[in-house]
A and B are shown apart, each in its own frame.
Chain A
Amino acid sequence: QVQLVQSGGGVVQPGRSLRLPCTASGFTFSNYGMHWVRQGPGKGLEWVAHIWYDGSDTFYADSVKGRFTISRDNSKNTMFLQMDSLRDEDTAVYYCARGPLGTMAGYFDYWGQGTLVTVSS
């Protein structure tokens, strides 16, 4: 069965960095676009970033552009979110989610369990 397992997360000081991994199983990871979505405490969902199936292109929400980097290692079935210059407002539960095949646009059919990132001094 399709599984997205997340790890990482924790408490980090403002201005510091953190990298979140998301490891996939149960499907051909290298065929699918992947996404990060976050949810601040008591807030709604916010789309964060998208990477094409082969990692050849990436896309970001304005709120994280220039600070966050999405990447993937298809040989290890793992996607990453590198978060630099973290701010208080980046505090959230971060979810990884599977998108459609290839470069298609669509929806998020499988989600990781989420990991909490707290930015605080």
Chain B
Amino acid sequence: QSALTQPASVSGSPGQSITISCTGTSSDVGNYKLVSWYQQHPGKAPNVLIFESNRRPSGVSNRFSGSKSGNTASLTISGLQIEDEAEYYCCSYAGGSTYVFGTGTKVTVL
């Protein structure tokens, strides 16, 4: 149950697009479409942005999109806004009703 690998930090200017990668193995990300993404502001509980690799829950902005290829999933934030500055985590189903989170990525809006 090793954590999925994410870049420690990603930054961008308002209006730009950024992409956060999430690399796992053939036992988790590569084997299931059940990758989800969460946004967490300091001191707050996480909020889901993407589920099943590329689906958005109702109420989540369409500026957030997800994809998956092989052992790597990605989250793209388009039209970056100040309020997008937060920590982002991927999470994959890992079989046997267990899950594994990513290491987390701090997004900074310049």
Binding site for B on A (CB under 8 A): 35, 37, 44-47, 50, 52, 57, 59-63, 95, 103, 105-109, 111-114
Contact = CB atoms under 8 A, between A and B. Distances in A.
Contacts of B74: none
A111 B45 contact: yes
A45 B91 contact: yes
Nearest to B94: A47
Interface residues of B, number: 26
A47 B97 CA distance: 11
Contact of B101 (A46, A57, A106, A111): A46
A45 B38 CA distance: 10
A47 B36 CA distance: 13
Which of A57, A63, A109 has the most chain B CB atoms inside 10 A of its CB? A109
B93 interface: yes
Nearest to A111: B45
B103 interface: yes
B36 A50 contact: no
Given A44-B103, A47-B101, A106 B51 contact: yes
A59 B1 CA distance: 13
Given A105-B93, A105-B97, A111-B45, A44 B52 contact: no
